[in-house]
Structure 1
Amino acid sequence: MSEPLPRSRAFSPPAFVVAVAALAVALASAGCRGGSSPGLRGLLPTARRGADVDAPGRQALLARWMGVPQADDQVRRAGGGGLVLRPDGWASKDATTEDRRAAEFEAAEQLYLQGDLDAAERAFARIARKERPSGIKRFADSLTELEGLDDFDRRRSPWGMRSLFYLGEIRFKKGNYVGAHDTFEELLKEYPGTPHLDEAVSREFQIAQTWLNQVRPAEDQPPLPWHARFRGGLPLIDTGGHAVSVLEHVRQNDPAGPLADAAVKLIADHYSESGDHETAAFYYDQLINDHPKSPLLHDALMSSVDSKLNAYIGPEYDFTGLAQARDTAKRAMQLFPERLTSTSDDIYHTLDLIADQEAERDYTMGEWYRSAGYVISAEYYFGGIVQKWPRSNWAEKARAQLAELATMPRKETAPSKMMVQPGGNDPFSQGISSGNPGGLGPGSTMGP
């Protein structure tokens, strides 16, 4: 058995506790004048309000180190100086800090009102940069649910919000539409409850209109010059795609606003004019479903019908768009009966065109079954054309096909056994089902 350690080398818990207590007493006597870690402020509960900080004997070490908020919302420290709790977090104890910030903003605002946009832009950019929350503060804002932080107001000051709005306005007036859009997006992201929501969304809508006009210029509005790309007036590439992205931001930032339906309409029109009729019909349907009371509803209905017809390739491909176009046209007739007098010819012509496309598709299917030797299936499709569209040109062709099919020999075609459910009976295969010879019924025989 090994010998016990000498007393000098053994670990003595009482000695360790005594050493920690001595260190705490030394720090308390020194008053903790060596500074403090700002990262702990606001993360631990402070001392009781109204505690006597001038009596070290009755003050806890941590409470003296953190400081005690007084009635004037100031933090007193034993070593002098201190902090003040502002709406945007802890700041210097200097009573004139808020006044200086207000004066700085008023000076920048005066530059804007005087028309000196360059100087005002620099001033507002400086204010917005200083008011922008850092990564540490963002992390601290996420910890507001900790105990002891309920009394702290983590809202940022209004100076940053107003500075971003003015900064976006200045860049918009100077023609820097790319910078203006980025600024407005930062404003709406950092301050989702800003009172400048309507103005920011309206500016973004105007920016999107300017960029879409660059793709397809209007007669009364010339496009921007090519060198505007180097001054922030236009994106470097894909102006139309950036315009659609801005319109999507308009919808996301204010989905129930007055410009949401117009933004969807512009997106759909852009895709329709670009030849992407399937995507255009998708956005037209979004306007119809999301904004049923929009003044653009009738135009969206008719444009949706046209886009679905243009997206239809031919009878050999998917025909779902034809049925959807027919239903959309009938919905337009039901919702706007007063407009049938002016647009009835167009609507009925569209319905006739849809019916003609459907008849062509059925005729194509009947021809395929006839060429494959399935006489009964071919007669089904040709007969359906005569019954549904008796006055169409395809009905005359279908009658001729039916006359030829009447003279052709017929042979009974048994359906595939793979289509029979397990355990089910197949009457066309003489009672033999998929792996189940039973259940043939009375009088039935098995096999040929």
Structure 2
Amino acid sequence: MECAMRHHPPGQSPAPRGPQPGSLRCRRVSLTLLLGVVGLGMLPWSGCKSTLDNLDVSNILGPAGRRAKQQAEEAQGGRQIAELEGHSEFEEAKSEFETHQYAEARKKLHKLVKKYKDKPIEEDAMFYRAEADYRLEKYAKAQDGYEELLKKHPSSRYLETATQRLYDIALGWLGYPKNAAEVELAHFAKVGSEHGIDTNPDTQIPADVWFPINVTNRRKPIFDPEGRALECLRSVWMNDPTGPLADDALLIHAVHRLRSGDYIEADRDFATIREQYADREVAMAAYVLGAHASLLAYQGANYDGKQLEEARQLTQSALRLFPEAPQKKKLENDLARIDSELANRDWEIGQYHLRRGEKSAAAFYYESLVKTSPESQRAEEAREKLVQLGPNHAAGLLPKPIYETEVVTVSAEEPAAEDPPAKAPIRQKTAPRPQ
């Protein structure tokens, strides 16, 4: 352009500025270009077409971005379509349900469940199908329906109603048993022990509950009504562990096991209650009845003593946590009984090792007996055995040695000879015999 190519000769000053013809042409050209650019920018606002209208924005995204956008659009469109699938058919079946035509509604709802598997309408159809069975008093099918619903849709909006139905079904099949507060806990508070509890009719499981085959009650399953009832209670707890019925369902399950003599399973249930529901009202029952179940689960000195140790810890915890519990006398009696059982256990094991000639092993259990149950009846006998064995076989469990300088030799085959004069000073050094 002319205006752009203009130069001044060397040594000459530039011409004075003024309205030069070349300068005016430059300004006109610049103004024209500026107006053109502005006009192009204003075309979209004026409704006119431009090349920007045909620009594909998807080309700006990378492969991952375009793929994500496409999937999002397809999912959104598919969801809107799926929400409409089966809706009219479901409403028709639901209308029959609400007018108490449960059998007809149940047939249609069952077809919907099969037809619209994995569709949003499936959840509603599954729930109302189970509800129809419940209203028809076909409780076994209703149980299957509710559990299928909760398995397929764990966070179902029908969770609370479904667990309530399962809870009610379980109680009906178990014969609506009285709760532990009215039976076991009340008995322990009154008697102070479990004496007579096994003859209480409220602790007996009816034959129509435990009998494995049902042919008289159409509301119950044909096979194993007791097991199916316990499944309902477990389902309530497992599917809604923080719900209002979870702790009650688990307690009923535990008490039923206790009453049926399944002490190991009852002990496990009570332990779960203590761990998960320590802040609820069932906690005290879990401690008192759990200690009772652990004590009953102990089978004697010839078996594992883990249950006995657990019973002792639970009983001590119950007395510490609930000092004003009405069952306090029973707990204190149980603690004394447990100490006696522990002493008998150590005594029997010590005698077993002594018969085998394993004197050091025998001394270990005798010392353990004296240390853990110093006031028990067996403690004095254990002290005498330790004196007879002598310090050479000491296990070192006792804070002070109780051995005399004169040691009586003990034979593994026959007991040591008694020497009354030598035994008198021994007893003066031991703890006094309990009154």
Query: Aligning the two structures, in what range does the TM-score lie when normalised by the shorter sequence?
Result: 0.5 to 0.7
Equivalent pair of 1:281/1:308 in contact (CA under 8 Å): yes
Deviation at 1:259, TM superposition (A): 1.8
Q: Which has the higher helix share?
A: 2
The residue identity in structure 2 corresponding to 1:131 is Y
Equivalent pair of 1:304/1:328 in contact (CA under 8 Å): yes
Residue matched to 1:188: 150
Deviation at 1:355, TM superposition (A): 0.2
Deviation at 1:281, TM superposition (A): 0.9
Higher relative contact order (CA 8 A, sep 6+): 2
Q: Which of 99, 114, 124 is 1:162 aligned to?
A: 124
TM-score, normalised via structure 2 length: 0.59
Equivalent pair of 2:350/2:365 in contact (CA under 8 Å): yes
- 3-state SS, counterpart of residue 185 of structure 1: helix
Residue matched to 2:230: 244
Q: Which of 377, 381, 386 is 1:397 aligned to?
A: 381
Q: Distance in 1 between matches of 2:237 and 2:302?
A: 37
The residue identity in structure 2 corresponding to 1:212 is L
**2:159 corresponds to 1:197:** yes
Map 1:102-121 → 2, pairs under 5 A: 102-121=87-106
Q: Which blocks of at least 5 consecutive residues in structure 1 are unaligned?
A: 1-50, 52-68, 76-83, 92-97, 134-155, 412-448
Deviation sequence 1:294-351 (CA, Å, 0-9, x none): 2111111111111111111111211111111111112222322332xx2221111111
Residue matched to 1:123: 108
Q: Distance in 2 between matches of 1:287 and 1:90?
A: 42
Deviation at 1:378, TM superposition (A): 3.6
TM-score, normalised via structure 1 length: 0.58
Deviation sequence 1:77-111 (CA, Å, 0-9, x none): xxxxxxx95537579xxxxxx4x954443333332
Q: Distance in 2 between matches of 1:90 and 1:114?
A: 27
RMSD: 3.7
Equivalent pair of 2:271/2:290 in contact (CA under 8 Å): yes
Residue matched to 1:262: 248
Q: Distance in 2 between matches of 1:177 and 1:132?
A: 24
Given the superposition, is the C-alpha separation of residues 391 and 174 from structure 1 closer, same or farther in structure 2, using an over 3 Å criterion? same
Residue matched to 1:55: none
Residue matched to 2:348: 364
Deviation at 1:213, TM superposition (A): 2.8
Q: Distance in 2 between matches of 1:266 and 1:238?
A: 18
The residue identity in structure 1 corresponding to 2:95 is Q
The residue identity in structure 1 corresponding to 2:92 is A
Given the superposition, is the C-alpha separation of residues 249 and 373 from structure 1 closer, same or farther in structure 2, using an over 3 Å criterion? same
Q: Distance in 1 between matches of 2:208 and 2:301?
A: 41
The residue identity in structure 1 corresponding to 2:79 is P
Q: Distance in 1 between matches of 2:246 and 2:143?
A: 17
The residue identity in structure 1 corresponding to 2:257 is Y
The residue identity in structure 1 corresponding to 2:333 is H
Given the superposition, is the C-alpha separation of residues 370 and 101 from structure 1 closer, same or farther in structure 2, using an over 3 Å criterion? closer
Q: Report the number of matched residues.
A: 298
**2:324 corresponds to 1:338:** yes
Q: Distance in 1 between matches of 2:86 and 2:375?
A: 81
- 3-state SS, counterpart of residue 263 of structure 1: helix
Residue matched to 1:326: 312
Map 1:166-315 → 2, pairs under 5 A: 166-213=128-175, 226-227=214-215, 231=218, 233-315=219-301
Q: Which blocks of at least 5 consecutive residues in structure 2 are unaligned?
A: 1-53, 55-69, 179-200, 390-406, 413-435
Equivalent pair of 1:215/1:240 in contact (CA under 8 Å): no
The residue identity in structure 1 corresponding to 2:175 is N
Equivalent pair of 1:214/1:223 in contact (CA under 8 Å): no
Residue matched to 1:138: none
Deviation at 1:291, TM superposition (A): 1.9
Equivalent pair of 1:215/1:239 in contact (CA under 8 Å): no
Deviation sequence 1:181-226 (CA, Å, 0-9, x none): 121123223333321110011111222222333999979x996994
Q: Distance in 1 between matches of 2:93 and 2:107?
A: 9
Q: Distance in 1 between matches of 2:115 and 2:365?
A: 74
Residue matched to 2:44: none
Deviation sequence 1:364-406 (CA, Å, 0-9, x none): 1222233233445444433543454343222343355456554
The residue identity in structure 2 corresponding to 1:200 is A
Residue matched to 1:9: none
Given the superposition, is the C-alpha separation of residues 392 and 351 from structure 1 closer, same or farther in structure 2, using an over 3 Å criterion? same
Given the superposition, is the C-alpha separation of residues 112 and 356 from structure 1 closer, same or farther in structure 2, using an over 3 Å criterion? same
Given the superposition, is the C-alpha separation of residues 222 and 125 from structure 1 closer, same or farther in structure 2, using an over 3 Å criterion? farther
- 3-state SS, counterpart of residue 174 of structure 2: helix
Larger Rg, first or second structure (1 or 2): 2
Equivalent pair of 1:127/1:160 in contact (CA under 8 Å): yes
